[in-house]
Structure 1
Amino acid sequence: MDKRNIDVVVISDVHLGTYGCHAKELLKYLKSIRPKTLILNGDIIDIWQFSKSYWPDSHMKVIRKLMKFVSEGVQVYYLTGNHDEMLRKFDGMEMGSFHLQNKLILELDGKKAWFFHGDVFDVTMQHSKWLAKMGAVGYDTLILINSFVNWVLTAFGKEKMSFSKKIKAKFKDAVKFINSFEQTAGELAIEKGYHYVVCGHIHQAEKRQITSDEGQVTYLNSGDWVESLTALEYQDQSWSVFKYDHLDFIKDELDEGILSDAEDLKSKLDVNILLQHIKYEIAQ
């Protein structure tokens, strides 16, 4: 598979360090593209649930691949989310083509795009953070159980199922929250005069027009790499939602997800340099 040239790629809610993260699939996707700008729109590393007892090699390879983009001069913006909120105090930190920010505004072909994670609209996050964290642990457990069930279903030739999607579908409040989230983000972007508003957080990939009395805006959400396995791509002055399909990668060498010894050593050095920079910033 030839690498696809893409102007802007947005991914969010990867949740590295949790059982639900599909790091291998994400790595295949990242290896299949050649972006000019990569925006990591929050919750890339799940610091809330980070555990030294669970950090598979596939998760480290994703970090190495992101660092390889930086070493190649790709503009990489890490925008903080609620699961990696401890990084928010380093807003504005830059290392080469790597930028750590809480939000971002880019001009794309004469149109302004506003990027931020979106947890600012979550009432639970604002007033009951402990409840949100408890919910995150419960969600990760649900995904783990779901993975086992899907393994059994696949073994018997049955179609996979999503527990969380079925639960969300049964609760009108969940659908109501998503609609409210999208509408709020859209109306605020219209007030500020933006053409695009790009979020993550709710694990629901989307591209749609939102209209208010003051105007119109394109609302976009990059989804997640826990269940949806989606990203946003901007190319030829148009946005699209990428949906991962393993059949697209089945005959490709990327399926192995293995770095050469030279690439592996270089990536490890890149990660060590990043850690040294972070330690330096903290010490200041």
Structure 2
Amino acid sequence: MQEQLAARFEADRAHLRAVAYRMLGSVSEADDAVQEAWLRFARSDTSEVENLTGWLTTVVARVSLTMLQSRARREEPVESLPEPAAAAGPEDETVLADSVGLALLVVLDTLGPAERLAFVLHDMFAVPFEEIAPIVGRTPAAARQLASRARRRVQGAEAHGHDVARRRQVVRAFLAASRGGDFAGLVALLDPSATLRSDDMAVRMGGNREVVGAEAVARDFSGRARDARAALLDGLPGAVWAPRGKVRVAVRFFFDGDTITGMELLADPDLLAGLDITVED
């Protein structure tokens, strides 16, 4: 029986090690997490588990989250740089062949434990938010926001420097065209299939749930951003409406190059509280 359990676990070892490595950025800690998962697996009755790979992934994720939280409490990184996944055996070769770059691991190391877990599991391993939510003790919607915030930080790190500077100029130009009712100017800044989406609170405040197409988005914004100000949202170019200094609505911008492909209006107080907002002069 023990041999069967070991053989079943070995079939998933490479996958589990890949999950732990992306979570922890350390080969040695990833091996520790996988070993702990094996111990829990060996002690558990999994006879009625339909998706054993998913069950093991959850166990490794929980172990890795605990290790990340412990590291955060110590307020010290595991290393100055993540360890490369050295190829020492068949499972290591699998990790290496499917590994993320060191640059991305460095960015991941700047995320909070829950953000990192949500981003890694969903964006790298396609784990549904309904399965991520219990691991981080949040609702599926909140888990989605964790991953979204992490994704923006990762994208912000990848789009630093000149890209961010240019996109800040695009946002300012968009706001200026909106204030001036410059419909043609707005359309010129938008991708033909650009979308505008609003969260539930923004809809209650008068926003449209979804607007599709450059001209439709331009009509929605033309003449309406008189009080909006450019801002950085989690380090990425965006805008806010902040009457009397209190942010009521944040506008996220999505880009392809310097072209705006989408915008998202956020007015939910909980979502706004989770954003790192820097309002520009």
Which protein has the bigger helix share?
2
Higher RCO (CA < 8 A, seq sep 6+): 1
Which protein has the bigger strand share?
1
- TM over 0.5, yes or no? no
Q: Say which one has the larger Rg.
A: 2
Bin for the TM-score computed over the shorter chain: under 0.3
**TM-score if structure 2 supplies the norm length?**
0.24
**TM-score if structure 1 supplies the norm length?**
0.24
